[in-house]
Amino acid sequence: MTKTSPHRPGTKTKADYVRPWLYPRQREAIFHKERYGLVEASTKAGKTIACLVWLAERAMEGREGDAFWWVAPVYAQAEIAFRRMKFGLPRLYYTANETKLSITLANGAVIWFKSGEKPDALYGEDVHACVVDEASRVREETWHAVRSTLTATAGPVRIVGNVKGRRNWFFQLARRAEAGEKGMRYAKLIAADAVAAGVLSAEEVRDAERALPGAVFRELYLAEPCDDKSNPFGIAAIAACVAEMSEARARALGPVCWGWDLAKSRDWTVGVALDAEGVVCRIERWQGPWQETIARVREATAGLPALIDATGAGDPVLEALQRGGAGNFSGFTFSAKSKQGLMEGLAIAIQRRELRLPDGLAVGGTLRAELEAFEFAYSRTGVRYAAPAGMHDDCVCALALAWRQWRMPAPGAGVLGWMMQLLAEERSERGREARADPLPWRASGEAGAQGSGPADLYDAARKKLGLALGFVCARCGQPIGASRVSDGVWSWHPECR
């Protein structure tokens, strides 16, 4: 391409550009068509050099006066990138301003190296492409300012950095990219990638592992975040539940129940199925109109027991699924209290390793990422369980619903033992000391009855059984048909809510 030389005004200089060597994973992480590229990388894995090359190439395609930015947490780090860019470019084709940390290319485009220390100072410019370096150490307000500068140009951005905990905007935005949000691309570069490419010494990595605390090493060299102590499940417990599982195994065992969290556009409709061993064997995830969702949920569930989100817009969807169905759909209404109980049940299951999570299913990584990002916080009214701001918890909610459904006794399974337990509880509540009746379905006075309690004791236990199984409305005490709503503990008629 022919460009005017800044050193000899009025003359033309032709330059043939050849991209510097980058190892394959470097190229894949940075050079792609998506507007937002988020890269969680270990130290010295090559993220900085790859981003310098990317930004320089974008600037070479620019026009006179176009602005291209490199934003670092502090001035000293911006200065490091400035020096590296000067060293990598042929001296004939740029002029540098050491005071303003800017490089003007032969085509008149300008690359600026900025500090993110004062976010308000970043507003105002129209930026054509940007790199946010060491993003986990950059203020969230700085990212807001950078994003505003890309509005007029619709410019792309590469956001890269080491992992530094979970409670920062970079980690949360990376989870959205990892989940496949439109316009975003996620990548991870770790020390092993750099070692395999020959740009980092394996002995150096081993020495760092010996010298650094385990949590620090995992963040800096493996790009694995440490636990911020706000996750209700426990990061180690989640990892311990991960099972290697292929699609073939999932198909061979097949699901026995489902949990469904519903959404239309902003969030995702997610279905999670468990097999007879409590292993997640299928995950369905999509966005679409309600009629499509109803059809897909019914098809995927295939008559199996399913606990479905009946909150807000989910209520009419549940009713549509129950109409003409096999009576297999039950509703769960989310509230602060019911969600707390649901999530605490899931937390116990994960910490006891009572369920297993997929490592090979198509969106299994999304499920694990949501579990690891999930938070709880104490408030004046109790404990609040939710995803961090800007992230999703649809997979977590669907898994919790599936686990609740999986734990529900199947009709007829152990009913005799359960009935005897309910009867004993009723006796205890009334202060009765009578001996347990081995045939609790017979009222007092029937042939063979043990005479351990009157008929009303049996009736009370039978009613409690009906309530627990969801056969009796917890409001009016009348039997419930296929249409029902549940908070996960009791069930009632839709009109009795």
| Domain CATH number, residue 328 | 3.30.420.240
Task: Among 367, 384, 407, identify where a domain stops.
Answer: 407
Distance in angstroms (rounded) separating the CA atoms of residues 463 and 457: 10
% the chain with pLDDT above 90:
45
Return the pLDDT at 494. Answer: 77
Q: Are residues 311 and 427 in the same domain?
A: no
- Whether the per-residue pLDDT at 431 is higher than 60: the answer is no
367 in a domain, yes or no?
yes
Q: Is residue 230 part of a domain?
A: no
| 68 in a structural domain | yes
Task: Give the single-character DSSP code of 129.
Answer: E
Same domain, yes or no: 437 and 298:
no
Residue 339 to residue 31: CA distance in whole angstroms: 42
Whether residues 122 and 254 share a domain: the answer is: no
How many whole angstroms separate alpha carbon 297 and alpha carbon 310? 14
Higher pLDDT, 366 or 293: 293
Specify if 31 maps to a domain: yes
> How much is the pLDDT for 441?
39
Which pTM value belongs to this model?
0.56
The answer to whether residues 119 and 84 belong to one domain is: yes
Number of alpha carbons in the 13 Å side-chain half-sphere of residue 422: 22
Same structural domain for residues 8 and 145?
A: yes
Neighbouring residues of 176: CB distance < 8 A, sequence distance ≥ 6: 184, 390, 391, 392
Q: What is the mean pLDDT of the chain?
A: 81
In the prediction, which pLDDT does 466 show? 53
Residues 112 and 70 sit within 8 Å (Cβ to Cβ) = yes
202 shares a domain with 67: yes
**Which pLDDT tens digit goes with each residue over 219-240?**
889 988 876 557 888 888 898 8
Are residue 345 and residue 492 in the same domain, yes or no? no
Which phi and psi (to 5°) does residue 472 adopt? Answer: -125, 135
Mode of pairing for the β-strands spanning 242-243 and 357-358: parallel
Kindly report the length of the chain: 497
Same domain, 187 and 260: no
Element housing 75 (H / E): helix 75-88
pLDDT band for position 265 (cuts 50, 70, 90): low
Give the CATH number, domain containing residue 209: 3.40.50.300
- Give residue 456's domain range: 415-496
State how far the Cα of 349 lies from the Cα of 241, in Å rounded to an integer: 10
Query: Which pLDDT does position 80 carry in this prediction?
Result: 95
Q: Which region holds residue 244: left if phi is over 0, alpha if psi is between -120 and 50, else beta?
A: beta
Please give the pLDDT value at position 252: 64
- What pLDDT digit, counting tens, does each position of 36-62 carry? 999 999 999 999 999 999 999 999 999
Q: How do beta strands 375-379 and 382-386 pair?
A: antiparallel
> For residue 413, what is the enclosing H or E element?
none
Residue 227 in any domain: the answer is no
- What mean pLDDT comes out for the span 118-138? 95
Interval 434-479: pLDDT, tens: 444 444 434 444 444 444 444 555 555 555 555 555 556 777 777 7
Among 292, 300, 296, 302, which Cα is nearest to 325's?
302
Residue 228 lies in a domain: no
- Say whether both 281 and 239 belong to one domain: yes
Last residue of one domain, picked from the residues 386, 407, 428: 407
Tell me, yes or no, whether 54 and 197 share the same domain: yes
Higher local confidence (pLDDT), 188 or 453: 188
> Which of the listed residues 166, 190, 222 is the one where a domain comes to its end?
222
Supply the pLDDT for residue 432.
43
Residue 297: its H or E element:
helix 290-301
- In this structure, the answer to whether residues 483 and 388 fall within a common structural domain is no
User: Taking 80 as the threshold, does the pLDDT of residue 168 lie above it?
Assistant: yes
Residue 14 backbone phi and psi in degrees, to 5: -95, 130
| Residue 178 contacts residue 365 (beta carbons within 8 Å) | yes
Give every CB contact of residue 62 below 8 A, 6+ residues apart in sequence.
68, 105, 107, 108, 109, 128
Domain count, the chain: 3
Q: What percent of the chain has pLDDT over 70?
A: 75
Other Cβ atoms closer than 10 A to 207:
11
Question: What's the distance, CA 308 to chain centroid?
Answer: 20
240 beta partners: none
Q: Check whether residue 388 and residue 430 sit in a common domain.
A: no
Task: Please count the helices (runs of H) and the strands (runs of E) in the chain.
Answer: 17, 21
159 lies in a domain? Answer: yes
Q: Is residue 55 part of a domain?
A: yes
* Max CA distance (Å), the chain: 115
